[in-house]
Chain A
Amino acid sequence: AQSVTQLGSHVSVSEGALVLLRCNYSSSVPPYLFWYVQYPNQGLQLLLKYTTGATLVKGINGFEAEFKKSETSFHLTKPSAHMSDAAEYFCAVSDLRYRGSTLGRLYFGRGTQLTVWP
Chain B
Amino acid sequence: DTAVSQTPKYLVTQMGNDKSIKCEQNLGHDTMYWYKQDSKKFLKIMFSYNNKELIINETVPNRFSPKSPDKAHLNLHINSLELGDSAVYFCASSLGGGDTEAFFGQGTRLTVV
Contact = CB atoms under 8 A, between A and B. Distances in A.
B31 A111 contact: no
Contacts of B35: 106
Contacts of A108: 42-44
B56 A42 contact: no
A36 B90 CA distance: 14
Interface range on chain B (Cβ under 8 Å from partner):
20 to 34
Interface of B: 4, 31, 33, 35, 40-45, 48, 50, 55-56, 90, 92, 94, 96-102, 104-107
A2 to B, nearest CB: 10
B29 to A, nearest CB: 11
B99 A106 contact: no
Interface residues of A, number: 30
Contacts of B98: 32, 94-98, 102-105
A44 B55 contact: no
Main secondary structure of the interface of B (DSSP, over half): strand
A104 B97 contact: yes
B56 A46 contact: no
Given A43-B104, A94-B98, 15 more contacts: A42-B107, A43-B107, A44-B104, A45-B104, A46-B101, A90-B43, A97-B98, A102-B96, A102-B98, A103-B48, A103-B98, A104-B100, A105-B33, A108-B42, A110-B42
A88 interface: yes
7 contacts: A41-B107, A46-B101, A99-B55, A101-B55, A102-B97, A103-B56, A105-B98
A80 interface: no
A49 interface: yes
A51 interface: yes
